[in-house]
Amino acid sequence: MKYSVSDIKTIGKIDRIEIKKGKYILNIPSEANIKLGDKLNIFITEKENDLPRNPIVQLLGSVIRKTDTHCLVSAGGLLCQIQEQFDMDQTVYISIY
């Protein structure tokens, strides 16, 4: 399912994109050239073999915080808030395509 980018904040060479009004908040490299209103698929998995081909951005991270409603993933210093529930310290792949 494609989600629309609802907000973008640029911080140096990093873009903080908000998708579906806060359902996902992802810090990604600015080189991805994602624009406000772009329609994107987000796929999150713990298995490398399940990843889609030719993503715009692909991040490998670890769950560092967990609440009842979302998880916070650190991906090489980039923070991502996701609604999917994973265990603490679990490795996850985030693919935007």
The reported pTM is 0.87
- For the cut 80, the answer to whether the pLDDT of residue 1 exceeds it is no
> In the predicted model, what is the mean pLDDT of residues 21-41?
93
> In the predicted model, what is the mean pLDDT of residues 12-18?
95
Given the candidates 2.40.50.140, 3.10.28.10, 3.40.50.1110, 3.40.50.1360, the CATH classification of the domain at 2-96 is: 2.40.50.140
Q: How does pLDDT run across 36-50, given as a tens digit for each residue?
A: 999 999 999 999 999
> In the predicted model, what is the mean pLDDT of residues 18-45?
93
Q: What residue segments make up the domains of the chain, in order of their start?
A: 2-96
The answer to whether the CB of 22 falls within 8 A of the CB of 9 is no
DSSP, collapsed to helix, strand or coil, labels residue 65 as strand
- For the cut 90, the answer to whether the pLDDT of residue 94 exceeds it is yes
